[in-house]
Amino acid sequence: MIDLRPVGYIIGLLVGVLGLTMLVPFGVDYLYGNPDAQNFALSAMITVVAGGSMALATANASLKALSIQQTFLLTTLSWLVLPVFGALPFWLGAPNATYTDAFFEAMSGLTTTGSTVFTQLETLPHGTLLWRGLLQWFGGVGIIVVAMAFLPAMKVGGMQFFRSEGFETMGKVLPQAAKIASSIAVIYLILTLACIFAYTMAGMEFFDALVHSLTTVSTGGFANSDASFGAFKGAPEYVATVFMLLASLPFVRYVQLLNGSAEPMWRDSQIRAFLLLVAGLVVIMTAFQMLEDGFGTEESIRESLFNVSSILSGTGYASVDYQLWGAFPITLFFLMGLVGGCAGSTCCSIKIFRYQLLFSAIRSQVQKIHSPNGVFIPRYQGRRVGEDVMSSVTAFFVAFMLTLATLATILGLLGLDPVTAISGAATALANVGPGLGDEIGPSGNFQGLPDAAKWVLSGAMLIGRLELMAVYVLFTAAFWRH
């Protein structure tokens, strides 16, 4: 029998902390004289009481060591329960959304997906806009800790390959998570403050700089305007590009860099592959725009650099409706969303390292075919890749594609057209943000979808953010037996 008390205690604390953070947008709305402040106060009270009650009811739990079952439950339930309460300010106050829309927005925020159901964002109270940004900021730092402490211990999707990297003393999951969180928090905060300063210097007003910094460093993509980042042409696009790329790199490298070791940063094959991919795609898109659309050089470079970085990192900002660029860019942007950044970053989707491992395995198989007597072993950064890692990565790819096909089929059955169904399933599962088509493309949003589709997509965001297997294992009988 699984002891649920430790799980309940930790989730109760997280819910309580989430409630306390609602006092920040409450204070902002109060200072601006917005009556929506009282709705944040009510939401905070409900959330703190609920979280505190849960923590008190399970306060006798032992937190010395979590079993693997408790770890899986904690990881999934945290990302499921927090949006339930994070949705309250949207439901009780502006924009007076239905609970379905409020939950969708909160799930999109905490999973740093960036898909939105809200329109006329410019008219929303400052507190609501700030809350959207805070949800993504918390989700960004939270997923780094999950990716570096929980997923390796759970051997999800090949993440066990990074089990001791940067944190040599493994210990138990919770002490390790606390150690990682304390190391990452400083770096995450420094990047956020630097981004705020850079946006301000680039001409943004302070409030816009604050909110967009929260959603840039988290690679979340929530914006303060229906035009997304189209409201900030020029210098802010370059600033956003720099920080989206910085947030796409493994945060453990920043920890090592602050400890005086720069070598791991430039030797990391993930980083090299990611930056080379960005550069190659930008060159292709820039050349295409200049030759096909007649864009100027600077505009082509800027728009290509910004939008490629946004989609590849999973941020999901859009400075233009790139669907107007033609069929080739649309196809390329769709495929970019299925790549993602580096493991241990705020990025989402499949991630660069899994493609590297897959290509290494394919190369070994090809070598075995033409040299049957040879011994060819997949390697990554000079290290031998074990069978358990390759099995996990292969299973992840298969599960991702099957899940994508299943979600697209379900959305089709709910009445969505093929482009909306397939791209909606892909963008939710990969936590990218915008889909394709007139309705959910970069110039649209998810407001017009049926409620059933929004719940399906909310579930897809959760599954994708936690790397699929961490959620699917909960639905196996063997998990509950042992």
Q: What is the pLDDT along the chain (482 residues), one digit of tens a residue?
A: 788 898 999 999 999 999 999 999 999 999 999 999 999 999 999 999 999 999 999 988 776 677 888 888 999 999 999 999 999 999 999 888 999 999 999 999 999 999 999 999 999 999 999 999 999 999 998 888 887 777 777 777 777 766 555 444 334 566 666 777 777 888 999 999 999 999 999 999 999 999 999 999 999 999 999 999 999 999 999 999 999 999 999 998 898 888 888 888 888 899 999 999 999 999 999 999 888 877 778 989 999 999 999 999 999 999 999 998 989 999 999 999 999 999 889 998 999 999 999 999 899 889 888 888 777 788 887 788 888 888 899 999 999 999 999 999 999 999 999 999 999 999 999 999 999 999 999 989 999 999 999 999 999 999 999 999 989 999 988 888 76
Residue 468 maps to a domain: yes
| CB contact burial 405-440 (16+ within 10 A = b; e otherwise) | eebbebbeebebeebbbbbbbbbbbbbbbbbbbebb
Query: Is 399 inside any structural domain?
Result: yes
CA 286 to chain centre: 27
CA distances from 186 to 20, 181, 182, 183, 406 (A): 21, 9, 7, 6, 40
318 Cβ neighbours under 8 A, 6+ residues apart: 228, 229, 230, 307, 310, 434, 442, 443
Return d(Cα 376, Cα 367) in angstroms, integer. 7
109 found inside a domain: no
| Residue 88, CA distances (Å) to 107, 122, 220, 232 in order | 12, 20, 20, 30
Whether 452 maps to a domain, the answer reads: yes
Q: Is residue 332 part of a domain?
A: no
Query: What DSSP character marks residue 446?
Result: S
Nearest to 112 by CA among 142, 88, 139: 139
pLDDT for 482 equals 64
| Total of domains in the chain | 1
Is residue 460 included in any domain, yes or no? yes
Neighbours of 296 (CB within 10 A): 10
What is the distance between the alpha carbons of residues 262 and 272, in angstroms, rounded to a whole number?
A: 14
Half-sphere exposure of 295 (CA within 13 A, CB side): 18
Q: CB–CB of 75/146 below 8 Å?
A: yes
- Asked, for residue 410, whether it belongs to a domain, the answer is yes
72's tokens: 């899986």
Q: In angstroms, rounded to a whole number, what is the distance separating the alpha carbons of residues 348 and 165?
A: 20
Other beta carbons within 10 Å of 480: 11
Q: Say whether 380 sits in a helix, a strand or coil.
A: strand
pLDDT at 375: 76
pLDDT of residue 209: 97
Run of H or E including 384: strand 383-384
Determine the pLDDT at residue 162: 64
Rounded Cα–Cα distance for residues 453 and 94 (Å): 23
State how far the Cα of 354 lies from the Cα of 381, in Å rounded to an integer.
13
Q: At what angle do helices 68-86 and 99-110 cross, to 10 degrees?
A: 130
- Residue 422 belongs to what domain range? 388-481
**Does the pTM exceed 0.85?**
yes
Nearby residues of 286 by Cβ (< 8 Å), 6 or more positions away: 297, 300, 301, 304, 305
In-domain check, residue 58: no
